[in-house]
Structures are given as structure tokens and as C-alpha cells.
């Protein structure tokens, strides 16, 4: 007697996209991880955040009403 073939269906998990704001540049970006990243994928933002460079020394720093 031949064995019946089992049908296997491959399903990819659905990604849940969320939105976060970069702590360095303030731009919004999407992510799909369980934990929200602190900064966007821009290399400058990662560098500034990792080495804890003061925001007042950034070339693109613009003082606001609350500074």
C-alpha cells in the first residue's frame, strides 16, 4: 500500500510594523522588532547616540523655545 502524501504549507510569519521617533534627529521611522530602537538607521545618529555627544555641539543643532 502506498503511503499518502502529506501536504505541508509553509507560511511566513506576519510582521507587525510599528513607528518610532529617533532621539537624535527627531525623524520618524518604522521598525518590526519587539523592542523599539532608540535611533534611526542613519550612521550619524547612531554615532552621536553611542558616544553620548552633547546635542549643543552637533552641527545641525537648532535651539528651541525650551532650551
Contacts of 29 (CB under 8 A, 6+ apart): 19, 20, 21, 22, 40, 41
More confident residue, 58 or 65: 58
pLDDT exceeds 70 at position 43: yes
More confident residue, 50 or 5: 50
Note whether residue 28 is domain-resident. Answer: yes
Note whether residue 30 is domain-resident. Answer: yes
Domain ranges, residue 24: 18-55
Note whether residue 46 is domain-resident. Answer: yes
- Binned at pLDDT 50, 70 and 90, residue 29 comes out as very high
Note whether residue 26 is domain-resident. Answer: yes
Note whether residue 9 is domain-resident. Answer: no
Domains in the chain, number:
1
Note whether residue 62 is domain-resident. Answer: no
Note whether residue 64 is domain-resident. Answer: no
* Rounded CA separation 51/30 (Å): 24
Note whether residue 38 is domain-resident. Answer: yes
Cβ contacts of 43-52, under 8 Å, gap ≥ 24: 48/24, 49/23, 49/24
Query: Per DSSP, what are the bridge partners of residue 21?
Result: 28
Amino acid at each position: 500500500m502506498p503511503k499518502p502524501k502529506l501536504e505541508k504549507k509553509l507560511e511566513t510569519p506576519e510582521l507587525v510594523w510599528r513607528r518610532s521617533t529617533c532621539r537624535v534627529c527627531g525623524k520618524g521611522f518604522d521598525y518590526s522588532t519587539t523592542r523599539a530602537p532608540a535611533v534611526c538607521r542613519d550612521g550619524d545618529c547612531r554615532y552621536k547616540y553611542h558616544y553620548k555627544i552633547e546635542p549643543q555641539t552637533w552641527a545641525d543643532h537648532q535651539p528651541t523655545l525650551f532650551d
